[in-house]
Structure 1
Amino acid sequence: MTALDPAALAGRPTAEATRPAAVRARGLTKVYGSGDAAVRALAGVDVDFAAGAFTAIMGPSGSGKSTLMHLLAGLDGATAGTAYLGDTDITAMDDRQLTELRRNRIGFVFQSFNLLPMFTAEQNVVLPLELAGAPVDRAWMEILVSTLGLADRLSHRPSELSGGQQQRVAIARALIARPDVVFADEPTGNLDSRAGAQVLSFLRQSVRELGRTVIMVTHDPSAAAYADRVVLLADGRIAGDITDPTPEAVLAGLDALRSLDEPAAR
């Protein structure tokens, strides 16, 4: 599928459907507020994200894409429905269990990097393991450092690194514990186009060469084109997907969504 037209926005099977799901949502619903002030951010979402794949989530402003990621990552609680990490129902977990799950099985890459300024790049990378009291797998560390081009930057503090280098450190930190899935929230939002392209290439490498699973929220069609699949949301619902995406196909899909659902956009 190279482009979407309005009739195609009902969703259809993708090439990743034959792979096991790393993350699943069933009837996932999120309502903020109550009564007349209630806002339904997600409305019964059913979606699978394949293991060993790079998936982007896109949609118009207010479509629910960030809310979906936060619920799938255990950063927010669902109003109804279930979210699974592998076979684990994370919507049934308490705060302590969710903290342990995020520490051991989920990696995060944020727009703002979130590096600790007093630590070196290497100290920032291994911080999740230190917090968990786990040893550093030096062989895996060397693979990450080599893949991300950080070998000559490990002794530098964040203030001594460019934005692209800081985001590569954040990616290494997200991968160091070999999580089941890495969630990336607008990971190139604070980068120029050249640095952004490098970061996206490294995320794709982490999937194709290191066997990781990445789920990324983005508003940028060019960024989404680095993914294996783009899941489209509109008005809190799955509206379709694009496999083997190109920037042109993603733009066409977003345009079709706007033409269908513009009056309902929040």
Structure 2
Amino acid sequence: MSLAPPPVRAGVAVAARGLRKEYGHAAARVVALDDVDVDFAAGAFHAVMGPSGSGKSTLMHCLAGLDSPTRGTVRIGDTDTARLDDRRLTLLRRDRIGFVFQRFNLLPALTAEENIVLPLAIAGRRPEPAWLRRVVAAVGLADRLRHRPGELSGGQQQRVALARALVTRPEVIFADEPTGNLDSRSGAEVLRLLREAVDTLGRTVVMVTHDPVAAAYADRVVFLVDGRPVRELAAPTAERVRDTLAGLASTTASRDAGTGAVTA
């Protein structure tokens, strides 16, 4: 007898219920997400981790409305994204979700300020001056607004991308390996800014990462294996994250050896 998925709790920014994502058909079918139930509390910093192929980026893409699940539901606040047509889903992504990716995705011909306000310009809206100043101050770009991306360091470009994600006042920011192209110092700056986006600006952050040091900035880490959440850590440290990852890797290797599975 199967159990009903847990109800969505109050104060949850993003929730998935029975989330499944499959690619291919028949013998070529791959299950990337295997009936995932997970909540991400509002006003908190969450990290999602797991080995390569565990489904962590697929989970983020389905949660953010960038990919459609095979079945199951995703809720952003009280909105069931499955009930939205393409136009309303686009509006939800534009107005209620911010994105920060490993690649900065800035337009080289635009200044830093023009890149920051681009989502608003596309929507035909003007930035709120006070909020724009607050965001620019938070990411430390007040003296770089007239510079183009080619005139900025990698860390500065990622700060522009983060400001662009914040300028629309999103309910949740999805960050996919946001420090992957940065050196350790620049990466630490970006992680500190994501932390401040939660603590000072009241946003919710869901970050996919492979780095235990990055995960230690979060309030909570969700670990995926084979498309399913298998463990969580609250108040993580880099050492605890490393130990958990090592334990999961050992368990997975023992299971695969016992079944004769071949892992890549």
TM-score normalised over the length of structure 2:
0.92
Q: Which residue of 2 aligns with 1:146?
A: 137
Q: Which residue of 1 aligns with 2:236?
A: 245
Look up the equivalent residue of 1:234 and give its one-letter code.
V
Q: CA deviation at 1:109?
A: 0.3
Look up the equivalent residue of 1:154 and give its one-letter code.
L
Structure 2: segments with no counterpart, 5+ residues: 1-7
- Which whole-Å CA distance do the structure 1 matches of 2:130 and 2:84 have between them? 33
Among residues 50, 61, 68, which one is paired with 1:70 in the alignment? Answer: 61
Among residues 21, 38, 41, which one is paired with 1:30 in the alignment? Answer: 21
Q: CA deviation at 1:255?
A: 1.0
Give CA deviations for 1:193-252 in whole Å, capped at 9, x if unaligned. Answer: 000000000110110011111100000000000111101100000101101010001011
Q: CA deviation at 1:147?
A: 1.1
> Runs in 1 of length 4+ with deviation above 3 angstroms?
none
Relative CO higher for 1 or 2, CA cutoff 8 Å, sep ≥ 6? 1
- Helix, strand or coil at the partner of 2:117: helix
Does the 8 A contact of 1:28 with 1:46 survive in 2? yes
- Which whole-Å CA distance do the structure 1 matches of 2:122 and 2:171 have between them? 18
- Which whole-Å CA distance do the structure 2 matches of 1:252 and 1:39 have between them? 29
Look up the equivalent residue of 1:219 and give its one-letter code.
H
Give CA deviations for 1:87-142 in whole Å, capped at 9, x if unaligned. Answer: 11112323222211111111000101000000000000000011111221110111
Does the 8 A contact of 1:21 with 1:86 survive in 2? yes
- Which whole-Å CA distance do the structure 1 matches of 2:26 and 2:56 have between them? 23
2:170 is aligned with 1:179: yes
Look up the equivalent residue of 1:21 and give its one-letter code.
V
Does the 8 A contact of 1:235 with 1:261 survive in 2? no
Give CA deviations for 1:46-101 in whole Å, capped at 9, x if unaligned. Answer: 00001000100000110000000000000000111101101111123232222111
2:127 is aligned with 1:136: yes
2:82 is aligned with 1:91: yes
Give CA deviations for 1:153-208 in whole Å, capped at 9, x if unaligned. Answer: 00000000000000000000000000110000000000000000000001101100
Q: CA deviation at 1:19?
A: 6.5
Among residues 122, 131, 148, which one is paired with 2:113 in the alignment? Answer: 122
Q: Which residue of 2 aligns with 1:53?
A: 44
Does the 8 A contact of 1:30 with 1:43 survive in 2? yes
- Helix, strand or coil at the partner of 2:143: coil
Q: Which residue of 1 aligns with 2:184?
A: 193
Structure 1: segments with no counterpart, 5+ residues: 1-16
Look up the equivalent residue of 1:71 and give its one-letter code.
C
- Helix, strand or coil at the partner of 2:130: helix
- Helix, strand or coil at the partner of 1:135: coil
Q: Which residue of 1 aligns with 2:73?
A: 82
What root-mean-square deviation, in Å, do the aligned CA atoms of Structure 1 and Structure 2 show? 1.4
Look up the equivalent residue of 1:110 and give its one-letter code.
F
- Helix, strand or coil at the partner of 1:254: helix
Among residues 245, 258, 261, which one is paired with 1:254 in the alignment? Answer: 245
- Helix, strand or coil at the partner of 1:197: helix
- Which whole-Å CA distance do the structure 2 matches of 1:257 and 1:79 have between them? 27
Q: Number of residue pairs matched? A: 250
Q: Which residue of 1 aligns with 2:213?
A: 222
- Helix, strand or coil at the partner of 1:145: helix
TM-score normalised over the length of structure 1:
0.91
